[in-house]
A and B are shown apart, each in its own frame.
Chain A
Amino acid sequence: MQLSDLLIAFGLGLLWLALTARLQRTAFFPTRFTSLRTWVLFILSGLAVYWLQPAMPIRSLDFWLPTATLSLAALGWALTAAPQERSLRKVLPAGLALLGLILLVGLTRHLGPAGWLTASRPPQTLPVVLALLALAGGGLILLRWPRKALLWAGIFLLIGLLIVLKLPALTALAASGLRALAGQAVGSAAATDLRWLGFSYIAFRLIHTLRDRQSGRAPAASLPEYMAYVVFFPALTAGPIDRLDRFLKDLRTAPHAPAADLQAALPRLALGLLKKFVLADLLALIALSPANAGLIRTPGWMWLALTAFSLQIYLDFSGYTDLAIGIGRLFGIHLPENFNQPYLKPNLTQFWNNWHMTLTQWFRAYFFNPFTRSLRQAKRSLPAWGMILITQLATFILIGLWHGISWNFLIWGLWHGLGLFVQNRWTEWIRPRLGTAQKHRPIRWSLTGISTLFTFAYVSLGWVWFALPVEKAILVFGKLF
């Protein structure tokens, strides 16, 4: 999100708060109000998917990818909708609104040669209409003949798309195919041609609902509610990854005091702006990067650049989360926290409990816990340490690969998986040996201080793998030590 996008979102939030304050004193409040808010967020978020999608070299892709996002969300709803939400009478208004929204965005091509809502001019109307018919048909089929097997198909489709988007060779191949479809030169296809805004987060929200439907935990949500959840515009580009049940709770509760929401949102927005657009942007000037990694001459400056990167990535990401939470709050949605002073934690476990919390919670719920359970229930059970090693490594390798399927992210995942394992073993070993010593406050404080510094150093060294391709990362490690 650019600063201008944030200003627009803030303006819309203020307008919404003003409307809320006015409606609060009418008979409209609270039942019809919550319904209105759901619709407003559904439409606004749907439009934001197009608005925020950056321009791409493949013709009309900045229209088709947002359309695919909305289509996947709608099909995800059709797969997971509770029986009482499936009646045509209930689906029709929202379904038509969704199709109308996509068509309307497509029709903006007739307003001029430039894109009005999309980064470039939308495609011709006929393919848009055909795509909408396909979407409507697909949705109706899924609604009428729901099959449990289709839930798995949906999950595999989303994972497959994630792999294509995260593995540069496959992304480039997909870009070639799309270029050929668009009648453009295939030879110049590159992985950077395909930048699907927020797909990593959208896919995880969708997988969460599909898995919860499989386990019977998914709450009943209407199409507008579900769509508003999946593509909620403040959290579209970089999370947090909310849970549907929690989101619905907010969505279905009328705000008690709009002024309180504003009061909570303003400091959060100010903090987010300061962190992301001032501090992180300034630190970016001196932070370790592929461009400067080979140029820095001495270990001291290398450590400084690495520390700057550690702070920059935290301030940028947590600043973005602050902004998302602040904007969400203007609409009465309390998005979950993503960071809680992670660099002040004395060990790696606590670091990961407080860094990108919604992602780690997602992995815990949908991979780590089920995987651990399956290992425990296996006929030949592993020793405890073996189970910890395997589950930690597997989880963090997946978290690493979620950022991109490349060697450096794989090593970054291994770095943290191994780190967590070693920390677990170390804690088990040292705790009884420390005995009563840790009851003395100065000793406890000293230990905490040293552990915090050590954890920060370990995490920072891990960022070298995260920020750089492997050969440059090795070069940096050579200079650091």
Chain B
Amino acid sequence: MRRILIKTLLIFLLLNLLLAAGNPLPALGRLSLYNHLFPGRPRFPFGENPQQAYNFSLYSLEAMFASHELSGLDKAADEYRLLLLGDSSVWGTLLRPEETLAGQINALRLKTCDGRQVRAYNLGYPTLSVTKDLLILDEARRYQPDAVWWLVTLEALPVEKQLASPLAANNPSRLEALAQATGVVDGADPAIIRPDFLGRTLIGLRRPLADLLRLQLYGAMWSATGIDQFYPAEYPAAALDLEADESFHGRLPPSLDENSLALDVLDAGAAMLEGVPLTVINEPILISSGQNSNLRYNFFYPRWAYDQYRQLLSARAGSGQWTLVDRWDLLPPAEFTNSAIHLTPAGSALLAHSLAGLLTCNK
């Protein structure tokens, strides 16, 4: 008995040292039953209510991509591969996969001028940070995109918010690589979560390892039910009556400092794509006509800040390697659900129609 205990302890210690020395999570994350035993997910795993959504949030980009339908499909010769980046409005909060922007574009069965079939992939992820989008784009490059649409909004751009996305903050090695390659990320930012020695052992890794396993198990229920999000019967609608507050993340009128926005991340994304066309789309926002709407457009944005952001974005597009499409005022308030950026299925369809011309000959 004593010898068994000692041997067990030694093996356990050795295993922990090996785990701490090498980082097995990326390799393990790529092992997936999705696209093999289960169909790939049409959008990334994300959810705060796993038991009802059969979906949950994890930090392994490798596992997220491995579970996505994108990684299970060989690109056909006549496929025009369009990747959509962005926040929860692209991912599709309260929308079924076919109702999201990617789903709506695919439903239009668009053909490019050279006859290729447009196939859009939803790579949105529900946190507001363009750095988080850049991380996803960095990984998505492997999947041979023909074009990338990056849907942005001002709330995703304040520099201090970039690492508030847990997905970004919990991928330190990827952020450090991005920092070296692009210079737009501060690799030494204290907000980056770096596991210590214990955090790299089996004890520290128990949560990420369990997440990888849970992701596979939820694959069974996702396949069985087709559900990847909890759809409440009722939800609070986006606010129309607003506070008489003109501040935006501590910034006050009259001018919005360009340096306080991470617009350089968009440039870095375009450079990273090495010639693949990048279109930055300023996504629709709710324009309220309620109380204090003379000061604010919606819960997120005071008018002065948002107007200046649009000007800055436009100016940056002129000097950058990406093109800008501004659809900020495309939709009436009725097409927003529980937030100033979350769309109804009809709103999402309208957006898809308004953007379809970017892909076809009928501009």
Contacts and interface: CB of A to CB of B under 8 A. Distances in A.
B232 to A, nearest CB: 14
Contacts of A297: 224-226
Interface residues of B, number: 15
A285 B218 contact: yes
Interface in A279-325: 282, 285-286, 291-292, 295-298, 301-302, 304-305, 308
Interface in B215-263: 217-218, 220-221, 223-227
A31 interface: no
A263 interface: yes
A291 B52 contact: yes
A307 to B, nearest CB: 11
Given A295-B227, A301-B223, A305-B224, A286 B217 contact: yes
Contacts of B223: 301
B1 A263 contact: yes
A285 B220 CA distance: 9
A390 B50 CA distance: 45
Interface string A240-267: 0000000000000000000100010000
B214 interface: yes
B52 A304 contact: no
B213 interface: yes
A285 B214 contact: yes
- Determine the interface band of chain A, counting residues with CB < 8 A from chain B: 10 to 19
Interface string B196-225: 000000000000000001100110110111
B12 to A, nearest CB: 13
B295 to A, nearest CB: 42
B173 interface: no
A295 B221 CA distance: 9
Interface in B80-101: none
A282 B221 contact: no
Contacts of A304: 220, 224
A285 B217 contact: yes
A302 B221 CA distance: 10
Given A263-B1, A291-B51, A291-B52, A301 B224 contact: yes
27 contacts: A259-B1, A263-B1, A282-B214, A282-B217, A285-B50, A285-B51, A285-B214, A285-B220, A285-B221, A286-B217, A286-B218, A286-B221, A286-B224, A291-B51, A291-B52, A292-B224, A292-B225, A295-B227, A296-B225, A297-B224, A297-B225, A297-B226, A298-B224, A302-B224, A304-B220, A304-B224, A305-B221
Pairs A-B, 6 closest by C-beta atoms? A301-B224, A295-B225, A286-B220, A285-B217, A296-B224, A263-B1
Interface of A: 259, 263, 282, 285-286, 291-292, 295-298, 301-302, 304-305, 308
Given A259-B1, A285-B51, A297-B226, 5 more contacts: A286-B221, A292-B225, A295-B224, A295-B225, A297-B224
